[in-house]
A and B are shown apart, each in its own frame.
Chain A
């Protein structure tokens, strides 16, 4: 169970990530020395924080992959936990939700990752969307508080769908049996994470460089059409260039990357909307100082399940 998941091509891919991180760290150092005005300082510090977070992520990712499927499951389980913790802190819940929340954190979430781990595909696919979503409303109702009932039930359902169910599809890639690709699934997971995260950051960079027309400024003032197009095109190009690490042809890899980028964009857009709606004005201050895991993985949460199902549908007989 604890067999390592890496191979020569994985090491190349991972080495590339480290090289990229090293180069970006140097660029940020140089930019920091050159630009001293407040506005660019904020931007540079923002990138700096992201790069630091990725160094940590890269180290943890290596550790997880080195310890095999269980390590990766535990890693993603922890990320789910931290993300859901941020989400539930932001979302106003009531006293009557307490027991349902307890079950969500300590029963439903571990169970989902357990089902991924034992590769019980059918149950893992329906556990949260069917079973948990049927369980949640009555378990809130039984507490007897009807105020904002539908809102509360949907908020918990949405949180557990995004933070646990969707994200669990990323490590689930490790249990796909793709003919001719056995034992190399860790590359597929790293591919997904690289394209997704690069799409995030490249959209940000292009937006800063040439961004003019805002997509939905009420939701997120940083998202522009120019940034979106530039980011998606360049991250798709990067993903296409990484086809050798995947079971895809270059053309298939381009299609997959494009899909990851667009879904990732949708994920960050939705999370920004949620935060504008509730977070910033109420519980934002609680989450601010605590990593902001949700900010890093919102795009992954939307890209992972569709990527998983597409790969499964097209490449697993």
Chain B
């Protein structure tokens, strides 16, 4: 992978920071060049760029987003942005008939975990939105299991929870033009998979770690 930051990526990061007026708070850890998986709640297309732009540039150069292949390869513009500009790791989603909504595509299968492990390599970090899709921004939805399998495979990588607030009001799902309100980004305390922790308990603990970073309405 090319470790240089694409100029368009830097430009988009600056624009996203301007539009979102984001205030970043490292509440549970400091920026660090070690390998990490940043996982956050998801409510807007701006989420990734804002989170990515909050990292120092030497860390940014080695931090890649996870993107749904069906969505991010659908048009030439999306493909260019995800592939060339941000070096996204593509994951395939499939229709899952066991799920509540059979029509909504899901991430599933072992090869996805392999793709993420491979993308991590020996020096990269990842940005992950384990809810799997963009929500309304009001609450953090249950996490998909990929993060658990990833934590099993790479126990050496720090899992850093992050919470994004108000971005759903700046650029909600289905809208193309942003409204420049102010937003917050909070990084929490890194967590690890406990030795005998089961999948559901871990995923709920991780979800709770993100949700507990909420600052709006806490005063």
Contact = CB atoms under 8 A, between A and B. Distances in A.
Contacts of A99: 175, 177
Interface residues of A, number: 23
Interface residues on B, range: 20 to 34
A98 B217 contact: no
Contact of B182 (A81, A86, A93): A86
B180 A105 contact: yes
Interface string A52-78: 000000000000000000000000000
Given A281-B217, A282-B216, A286-B166, A89 B175 contact: no
Contacts of B184: 285-286
A102 B182 contact: no
B177 A85 contact: no
Contacts, number: 55
Contacts of A281: 217, 219
Given A284-B219, A286-B23, A89 B178 contact: no
B97 interface: no
Interface string B142-176: 00000000000000000000000110010010010
A102 B216 contact: no
Given A95-B172, A102-B177, A290-B23, A280 B219 contact: yes
B21 interface: yes
Contacts of A51: none
A286 B219 contact: no
A4 interface: no
A273 interface: no
Nearest to B173: A95
Contact of B219 (A85, A105, A285): A285
A101 interface: yes
Interface string B176-200: 0111111110000000000000000
A194 to B, nearest CB: 29
Contact of B179 (A105, A287, A289, A290): A105
Contact of A85 (B136, B165, B175, B182): B182
Nearest to A281: B219
Interface in A255-312: 280-287, 289-290
Given A93-B169, A95-B172, A290-B23, A285 B218 contact: yes
Contacts of B181: 85, 88-89, 286
A213 to B, nearest CB: 29
5 closest A-B pairs (Cβ-Cβ)? A101-B179, A89-B182, A89-B181, A286-B182, A285-B215
Given A98-B175, A105-B179, 11 more contacts: A85-B182, A88-B181, A89-B182, A93-B169, A99-B177, A101-B179, A102-B178, A280-B219, A283-B166, A285-B219, A286-B23
Interface of A: 81, 85-86, 88-89, 93, 95, 98-99, 101-102, 105-106, 280-287, 289-290
Interface of B: 21, 23, 136, 165-166, 169, 172, 175, 177-184, 215-219
